[in-house]
Structures are given as C-alpha cells and as structure tokens.
Chains A and B, each alone.
Chain A
Amino acid sequence: MNPAFSLFGIPYLSLLVFFPSVGALGVLAVPKARERMARTVAFVVAALEFLLSIPLFTRFQPVAGMQIEERTPWLTGIGSSYHLGVDGLSMLLVLLTTLLTALSVLSSFSAVTERPRAYYSLLLALETAMIGTFVALDLVVFYIFWEAMLVPMYFLIGVWGGERRIHAAIKFFLYTMAGSVLMLVAILWTYFLHHSATGVYSFDLLDWYRLPVPLGVQTWLFLAFAVAFAIKVPMFPFHTWLPLAHVEAPTAGSVILAGVLLKMGTYGFLRFAIPLFPNAALLWMPLLLGLAVVGIIYGALVAWVQPDVKKLVAYSSVSHLGFVMLGMLALNAEGLSGSLLQMINHGISTGALFLLVGVLYERRHTRLISDYGGIWKVMPAFAVVFLIIMLSSIALPGTNGFVGEFLILLGAFRAHRVFAVIASLGVILSAVYMLFMFQRVMFGPVTHPENDALPDLRLREWAVFVPLLILVFWLGVYPAPFLARVQPSLAESASLIERRALLCRTAEARAGRPLSSLLPATPAAPDTAATRQP
C-alpha cells in the first residue's frame, strides 16, 4: 500500500473531492456582466481536475486493499471518521467521473446559455459528490455524498431540462431518495451490530468488513441496501425514473446521470451490499440474477420501440446495467472484471451517445427519431462517430464494450449458466434496437428539409468525442493496463465475500443459537466478545 500522498499540501483524495467545489465557487464568482466566462472557468477547473486525477491511475499500485487512505476523526461522538481511500474498483470510477465531467462541461458550451454560472457550478458540485461517493470508506460520509449528489442533479434536470423537466427532476429525487432512506436504517442497524459485537462505535467500512452479521438480520439489511442500489442502478423493475430523467435532463445531465450516477448503484452493490451481507446476497442471488436478466431483455425490447432517441438510450442503459449486475453477481474474477469494465464502458459509450444526441438536439431541438433520417448525408463525420459509439454500445469486438460484455457473460456462464444464456440474447437485441435507431436516424434520404443544412461536428465537439473514441479503442484493443490494475482488488472483493460468508456462518454456528434476534441488545457471540476492545 502506498502511503497517502498529497499535492500542494492537501491530502490527495480530499483535493480530488473538493477541488471541483472550490472551482464551483470560482465559477459563481464570475461577474454577472461576463457570465459567459463561466464556461471557460468551469472547463479549466474540470480539466484540471481530470489532470489531477491522472496520478490516481499512474501511481496506483496493482495490489489488493485500499490505497491513498486518509482518515481524520470527524463525528467522534458516534464513531464516524472522514475516511477516504481507493482501490481498483473506485479508482477507475473516479477517473471516469473526472473525464466525463470535463467533457460534459465542454459539451455544454453552446447548449447552455441561460444562467451559466449556476449551471457550471452545479455541475462541478456534482462532481465533488460523485467522487466523494466513490472514495468514501465511512458509511456516514458515503451516505452524505450519496444523498448530496441528488441536489445538483435535481437542479440540472429541473432548471435546464426539457418540457417535463420538473416532473422528471422531482421523480428522480424522490424515487432515489425513497430507496436510500431504507439504506440509512440498515446502516444504523449494522452500526449497532458492530457496536454490540465489538463494543466500539464505528461507521468504518473496513471495520464492518470484519463484523459477523447474524444471518437472520442479514436479509433485512441486505434488502435495504439492495433496494437503494437497485433503484440507482436501476434494476428492473425500479427503472421507471430513468427514462424520464434521461429524456428531460440537459445533455450534460444525461451524460453524468448515465455515465456516473448509475454506477453508484452497481458500485454500492459490490462495495457494500454484497460483501457486508454475503449470506443474504447468496440467498437472494436467484432473484437478483433474475432481475438482472429480465432487465437486460426487457430494457432492450422496450428500447427498440422508443420513438425518442434519448429514451431509447435510457432503456438501453437498463439493459446494459443488467449486464453489469449479472457480471457482478457471478462473483468470480471474470465476471467482476467484466462488470467493472462494463461500468466504465457504459460510462463512455452511453455518455457519448447522450453527447451525440445532444449534438443533434442542439441543432434541431427535437429528440424524435422520426424527425431525422438521412443524417449521414448531411453530417458524415458525426455519423461515423455515432457509428463507432453505437458499435461500442452493442459490444462489437475491438471496441471497449465487447471486452466487458464478454467477460461478464463468461463469468456469469461459469457461475449461473442458464442466466448467462438468456442474457446472451441481449447481445442480439442490443444490435436490434441500436441498428433500428441508427437506420432511421442516419440512413435513407433526408426527408425533413430542416435537416438539409445541419452543420457537421465543430472543433469543440470533436474535442469532446476524440477522447471518448480513443478510450473506446484503447479499452477495446488493449485493456490490459486497466484490467491489471483492478485485478487484485476484484480478487480481494470476491474472496472477501467468500470469507465473510464463512465468517458469518461460523459465528452463527459457534454461538450455538441463531444470532438473529434483530437488535444490538443481543449479547455478542462468545468468540467476538473475546476481541472486544477496552
């Protein structure tokens, strides 16, 4: 484990987390008379943040466990500390966040003219919350970032969104929050389980990883966590907020939403829900697998018949995230690697798709597929980029999507063969809905005269897409630098889940009776009592 390092005297992760917020204040400080400057400031901040995050990748040690940890006592009274750290799992997601935020800022240059200062500062504040969510190792800190993230997103959708933006924003907020409040109860519950087992109040995830959770309680705790994360993912049937939010959000909002926010759900499963409550997770595995697979097929089928491009991409997210969940639930190295990689891939490809739709929307102010047609002729470069991104999205070998999807299916095939086979049908269906859409938008003659003179990609738009295209091929052709870095962490995750499942079972067995009395009042199991701290 490499020791925590700091830049400019600030602990590195804290710097990463809070730099965008400071930048947001900077954006707000732009005088009103020159509020168009806000975008430049915001981009500089976001770009700097991305550059700042690069050492995270380069200095990352391919070993298991947390790195670059930071820990400061915070809520000493209740045993919560400001504890940050990254491992392979979060490292990539943080990088994805910084990249997508920078690109989102860039993509909004011409799309957002109204109240730009507020817009960009919210975007940057959102970045803080997202990175915070990924690096927090204390449950309270995690929950704070998790919830705080809703606010800027809510405003981004609600203020700069489409026609039904208000409905969408509120639904997004309420639905996600409704899910996560139950998680808070579960967090508190686990916290007291930890206290009764060890005598120590701690919200620290790493402490909790050593806590045997009674089997009877696990189900409830797991479900509470799982619902919160399943809504965020979103897993079928908790996905209905997503199409609405995606459609109504401004382009950058959709990009962040699809690219990063959804990953919080899958990340949460892998970091919290499954390792903390492994036995319950295993117990409920068939259901989760079923939902993941249903999500894959269902999302694809429903995406197919969408008349609205953004909605189509939104439902495709349901399908893709179903793959991510499937791979994760395989709980083997292949599935987990694929799952993580697919999280990144989905961020790239779906993010890029939303950016592309945004490009179109900016020119035509419609998202209906039927309003397009023959776009290839008008905007050939755009069409090619669209094509490549689409291929990445349908997991064509050679693009990033394939590596992830294949590993997921492989992992799932090893662990849950039937589910994997059904899920593989998604491979066909993803081609179906994407190609139908692509054909109707890109091919054919130009049927709407308004489309005749659409300008092709501009230089700034190229600047947005080139990094994504590079990643599409890099991850597709040479994913080794990524995979190698995350392997130890994922292996650790898998083994942690296994170890903890055993730990919980043996603790229960040794106690000689079920430790399932629900609350901390239960006297600790004898073996854990021995480890009680003074």
Chain B
Amino acid sequence: MLSYLYLIALLPLAALVLNMMFGARWGHRGVGLVACGAVLGSFVVAAGATLQLAALPEASRSVTQALWTWVSAGNFRADVSLLFDPLSAVMCLVVTFVGFLIHVYSTGYMHDDPGYRRFFIYLNLFTFSMLTLVLADNFLLLFVGWEGVGLCSYLLIGFWYERHSAADAAKKAFIVNRVGDFGFLLGVMLIFVTLGTVNFHEAFALAPQKWAAGGAIATAATLLLFLGATGKSAQIPLYVWLPDAMEGPTPVSALIHAATMVTAGVYMVARCHVMFELAPVSMDVVGFIGGLTAIFAATIGLVQTDIKRVLAYSTVSQLGYMFLACGVGAYTAGIFHLMTHAFFKALLFLGAGSVIHALSGEQDLRHMGGLKRYLPWTYGTMLIACLAIAGVPPFAGFFSKDMILEADFESHWRFLYVVGLVTAGLTAFYMFRLFYLTFYGEERLTHEAKHHLHESPASMTGPLAVLAFFSAVAGFVGMPLVRHGNRFAEWLAPVFADVQGVREQVAHAATAVIPGPIEASALAEEPHASTGLVIALMVLSVGAALIGIGVARLFYVRDTGAPERWGARFQGAYRTFFHKYWVDELYQAIVVRPLERLSQWLWRFFDVGVLDGIVDGTGGLVVLGGTLLRLFQNGYVGTYAFFLVLGVVLVLFGVGAGR
C-alpha cells in the first residue's frame, strides 16, 4: 500500500470532483455514498500503508513518494512529494477514521439541508487538504494543505452563508488564519534562505549544522512557524476565530474545529521538532502560550451558555494542552493527546450535534435539561466523552493528559504543571456543567423544540457509538508504567529519535557561551520519572478531575441556585469570563477599526485628495495658465503689435546678450 500513498489524498479529491460533476444527478444518497466511500478508501489505504510501515525496520520507517516537481526556480525547488512516517501515519489514520465517521454522521445530520451536495464537496475537499497537509514532505506542500484546510474551514463555517453571523465568522476565521500564515510563510522563507531547502528531510538534517543552537535565526524561524500554528490551532493571540467558527454545521465543528484541522499546528510543531529544539526560547514560548491558552480558554468555557461554544473553548484549551506538551519537548504526549482528543472531542461535538438536531437547532444550554430520557444513545456516548476529556481513568483522555502533565512536571518550568492541573480541574467542571445542564435537571425546552424532540437516526448514533468506544479505549495504547504499555510512544520513537542529539548540541552551545552553573546534562537528559512519582501525579490529576466533576454536580444537579450566587459573588471574574476577556472587542478597537479608519483616510483624503489632486491640479494649472495667456489675445491689433514689438525687444536683447 505504501506505493499507493497518493491514493490517500487523491480519493477524497476524486470524490469531490465526481460529486461536483455528477452529484446533482446522483441525489443525496449517491453523493453521500461517494463522499463517505472515498474517505473510507483513504482510511483503508492509510491503514494498509501503516501496517506495511510497521513491518519495516524502525530506522527506515520513513517513506517518500515523489510525484512531480511543483515549483522550481533558481535554487528553489519544491516537489509534490509525499512523506509517510509514523507521525504522518497517525495523523492520516486519525483524519481518515474520524473523518469517515463524521462523513457518515453528516449523511444523517445534513439530510434535509438543501446544500447537501455542496457540504460533502467541501468536506471531501477538506479531507483532501488535511491529508495533503499531513503527508507533505516539504514546507511548501504542507502549506498547500495548511491553507487548503483554512479555505475549507472558511467555506464550511460560512456554509449557511445567508446568515450574516456565519459569513462574518467564516471571514474572521480565514483572515485570522492568514495572520498566522503570514508568519508561517516568513518562517518557511527564512528556512529556505538559511538552509537552502524546504524539504523536511534535508531541512531537519541541515538545521543543526547551519543554525547556531539557540541562535537568532533558529529562534526567529521557529517563532514564525509557531505564529502559523497559533493561527491554525487557535492559540493566543489568534484563537479568536475558533469560538465564532461554531456558526458552521456541527459535523464541521467536530471534524475541522475539534478533531483535525486545528491540530495541524501541533502536528507542524511536532514535525519541526528539530528546529524547535534548536531554539529553547521558542520552546518556552510554545509552552507558555500553550499553558496560557489552556487555562485562559478554560475559564471562558466555565460560563458560556451555548453548548457548542463551550466545546469550542474547550477545544482551544485542549489545544493549549497539546502545545504545553510540545513546549517541554514531549511531542509524543502532544500527539497522543491529539489523537485521543480527536476521538472524544469529535464525539462531544457530534453528541452536541445530536442534541441540537433533536432540539431542532437549539444550542443554548439554558433551554435544555433533562434530555437523558429522550436521547439515551446520545446521553451514553456523551457521558463517555465527558469522562474522557475530564481525565477520568481509564478513559482515553486520562492517559494522554497524564502523559502531558508528567512531562510538564519534569520540565524546568514546573509551574506549567500547575497550570495544566488547574486546567484539568476546570475542564472537568465545565464539561460536566455542560453535561448536567443538558441531560439532567428540569426540562427548560421551548415548546417547539419539545414537540419535535427525537433521538437521532442510526447514521448519527452509529458514529457516536464508534467514537465512544475509541474514546474509552484509545488510551490503552499509551499505558504508562507498564512494560511496552506505551506502544504509542514506541511507534513514534523513530520520528523523535533525533531529539536527543539536538538537545545535547543545544546544551553544549549554552554551556559554551555562558559557562555557569547550568547543568547541561540535566537539560539534555530524557526526563525519566520514578514510578512513585508517576502514580502520585496520576492521583493528583484524577483528584482534580473528580473535584471538577463534583463541583459541577453540586452546582448543576444538587444546588441549582449555586451558580447564580457564585456568579454574583465573583461578579468581576464572572463578567470577564462571560465576555471572553473582551478580547474580540480589544482587537476590534486596536486593530480593525483604526485600520479601517486609516484606509478610509488613505482613500478619501490621501488618494483622491492629495495624489489625484496633484494630478488634476497640474491639469488645472495648465488651464489656468491658458486662461491668463488668453487674456492677451484680446482682438486688438494694437495689442498684437505691442507684443510683436516686445518680441523684437526680446530678440534684440537675446542677440545682444548672445555676444
């Protein structure tokens, strides 16, 4: 299957082309079949390829398939060429698998939408772009997928384009992503200019040789790349688009804004780990930003009332978690969390979608409650998902989150661990707040919603069940403490094998430059925690999760008046959280509006008034001169003779002066 790698990306593309051309004739059924089938096909190919890859010796588990030369000018060369290694394999599998499930789910969810075919075309386009992203073997091709998924995100957020809010959100998503892409592009250019290549293999091989460890170039390049990642993966300061992106259909939120696209940043950082490792400052930035985003988004999530928005902030927060891992060099943990998160967050969204679907589009938590009876499947799967994200063992989230916390604890920035831990507690709280508000308590449904209330069809509950299964068990591939329990880390090990060497180089450089008490070896060594410590950390995190869940239960099941009282008591904090720290307003005030005013000024005053004024003024001057000169032509022979004689004077003067 390795020789058919291109099929992984090609199948969704083919499906979308087919649907575009013939979909109108095929009807919903055909369109859905083709779309889902293609993604399933991709999954099969990806799975086959992964198996083949696993059969290879560890050192050669990196397969490249060059298709054609894409751009070649001067020294620059970028091929359309695919790279399949354990990391891309994981990503491919997640994308195709979760993608497939969401495709299936969508056939039910979007069944009555007039834009059914368009929706699947977009979804397939997205899958294609995402697969291009993860399969690319150079930065430029990665950027194709990178922007491609951004485009699909734009199209899908704005899927219901007649809604102004959807159109606004779509535009916002694209533009904010562009800001990130700006950084990413500059990063790629810097990489090319300093390394002479954009090919991953070559660049990662050359970077440690050509870049000074901890040097300015490495720092700048990685920070620029990371700017791209903050855009795509919705990190501070560019996270603002993601909550708004919930304007899109819920399967979109599940697929793009939870499971796959937003993790592209994490994938990219992991992919470029060599470069990041060369720039400790950048690593710290990644970690801090991740941590900050994690806790920041979690606090906002505490008080949101829109079910999807809660999930959106949760996503931002969880993505922060992943960067928290990457920032301390725990790429495996990051990717692991990426995978488990893909399952349970997709499940959460799909579950939420199921709820919304059942309530005919109602998304406000305040108008839900007591749905447990009506939506048993949804309730069950959502419960699993919530447990998973809250980090309750043995669900998937527990393992991945624990791996991250452990890594943070052992890093030299131990407070990041605290951040992670607090966030874990907050996560558990707001997830169960959501859960309880939805399924427990009194029914606060609107009359109409209640009238249509029904459990979702099998095409929707089926994927829920599958995802629930994986949310429950996926963590077992990364079991700590057990010998060979952490298969996931072993699988990815070849990818991150070079980290050690780079770290030594960095440490060496650091000691060489600043001879001092810094323990080089301590920095360079792979953190290796004792069993006792691991268990202690586990207990702590489970404790945090349980506290969160407990408080949620207290607030929203037992004592439903409590939230209001607490909200009133900490009114400042509550309002800050509720208004999302006023960040949107801030951006509006310091970036958007001044820029717009500047543009208006540039246009109306500077362009039309000054620049064009000068141009027209020149013409005006000529006309004015003509008007004045014309006065002399007054029809009197006397005047004419006068000027003639004046001319004589002039000529005589000139001739006289000429000698």
Contact = CB atoms under 8 A, between A and B. Distances in A.
> Taking the complex as a whole, does A directly touch B, i.e. does some CB pair lie under 8 Å apart?
yes
A433 to B, nearest CB: 9
B189 A410 contact: yes
A301 B595 contact: yes
Nearest to B186: A424
Interface string B615-629: 100010000000000
B181 A427 contact: yes
A13 interface: no
Contact of B185 (A302, A427, A442, A445): A427
A431 B178 contact: yes
Interface in A282-309: 298, 301-302, 304-306
B535 interface: no
Contacts of A444: 161-164, 167
A439 B163 CA distance: 11
Chain A, interface residues (CB within 8 Å), range = 35 or more
Given A302-B607, A439-B167, A480 B74 contact: no
Contacts of A428: 175, 178-179, 181-182
A406 B71 contact: yes
B167 A409 contact: no
A406 B144 CA distance: 12
Which of B74, B163, B615 has the most chain A CB atoms closer than 10 A to its own CB?
B74
Given A333-B73, A483-B71, A240 B611 contact: yes
A420 interface: yes
Nearest to A428: B178
Contact of A431 (B80, B166, B174, B595): B174
Contact of B178 (A304, A414, A427, A487): A427
B190 interface: yes
Given A409-B189, A413-B190, A333 B175 contact: no
B611 A427 contact: no
Interface stretch (A55-63, A76-84, A120-128, A391-399): A391-399
B147 A397 contact: yes
Contacts of A386: none
A337 B70 CA distance: 14
Q: How large is the interface on B (under 10, 10 to 19, 20 to 34, 35 or more residues)?
A: 35 or more
A165 B598 CA distance: 29
B600 interface: yes
Interface string B92-119: 0000000000000000000000000000
B73 A407 contact: yes
B73 A435 contact: no
B603 interface: yes
Interface in A368-405: 374, 376-377, 391, 396-398, 402-403
B609 to A, nearest CB: 11
A336 to B, nearest CB: 8
Interface string B435-463: 00000000000000000000000000000
A201 interface: no
A337 B178 CA distance: 24
Interface string A424-454: 1101100110011001001111000000000
A175 interface: yes
A241 interface: yes
A374 B162 contact: yes
B602 interface: yes
Given A301-B598, A302-B599, A305-B596, A478 B70 contact: yes
Interface in A142-189: 171, 174-175
Contact of B615 (A240, A410, A480): A240
A432 B76 CA distance: 29
Contacts of A305: 596, 599-600, 603
Nearest to B600: A305
Interface string B134-174: 00000010011011100100100010011110111011001
A421 B599 contact: no
Interface in B54-100: 68-76, 80
A308 B600 CA distance: 14
A491 B164 CA distance: 50
Contacts of A397: 140, 143-144, 146-148
Contacts of B69: 480
Interface in B180-197: 181-182, 185-186, 189-190, 192-193
B185 A443 contact: no
Contact of A298 (B168, B192, B595, B602): B602
B498 interface: no
B75 A333 contact: yes
Contact of B596 (A171, A304, A410, A477): A304
B612 interface: yes
Nearest to A427: B182
A332 interface: yes
Given A301-B598, A302-B607, A435-B175, A407 B71 contact: yes
A116 to B, nearest CB: 33
Contact of B68 (A240, A301, A302, A480): A480
A479 interface: yes
A237 interface: yes
Contacts of B72: 480, 483-484, 487
Contacts of B70: 403, 477-480
Contact of A409 (B71, B185, B600): B185
Contact of B162 (A171, A304, A377, A414): A377
A240 B607 contact: yes
Of A171, A241, A338, A410, chain B has the most CB atoms within 10 Å of the CB of A410
B161 A410 contact: no
B73 A337 contact: yes
B599 A304 contact: yes
Contacts of B192: 410
A348 to B, nearest CB: 17
Contacts of A248: none
A231 to B, nearest CB: 10
A175 B175 contact: no
Nearest to A444: B164
Contacts of A333: 73-76
A204 interface: no
Given A334-B74, A428-B179, A301 B189 contact: no
Interface in B19-74: 68-74
Interface centre among B73, B147, B612, B619 (most CB of A within 10 A): B73
A431 B253 CA distance: 23
B162 A443 contact: yes
Contacts of A431: 174-175, 178
Contacts of A306: 603
Contact of B161 (A240, A376, A435, A487): A376
Contacts of A240: 607-608, 611-612, 615
B603 A425 contact: no
A306 B600 CA distance: 9
A411 B144 CA distance: 19
Interface in B531-581: none
Contacts of A432: 175, 178
Contacts of A237: 611
B599 A414 contact: no
Contacts of B166: 443
Candidate in A240, A333, A487 with the most chain B CB atoms within 10 angstroms: A240
B129 to A, nearest CB: 8
A414 to B, nearest CB: 5
A435 B171 contact: yes
A410 B76 contact: yes
A338 B185 CA distance: 15
Nearest to A297: B602
6 closest A-B pairs by beta carbon, nearest first, are A333-B74, A337-B73, A443-B167, A397-B144, A240-B612, A443-B161
Given A237-B611, A377-B161, A410-B189, 19 more contacts: A174-B619, A240-B611, A301-B595, A301-B599, A302-B599, A333-B73, A333-B76, A397-B144, A402-B144, A403-B70, A403-B71, A406-B185, A409-B185, A428-B182, A432-B178, A439-B168, A443-B170, A477-B80, A480-B68
6 contacts: A174-B619, A302-B602, A396-B147, A397-B140, A443-B161, A443-B167
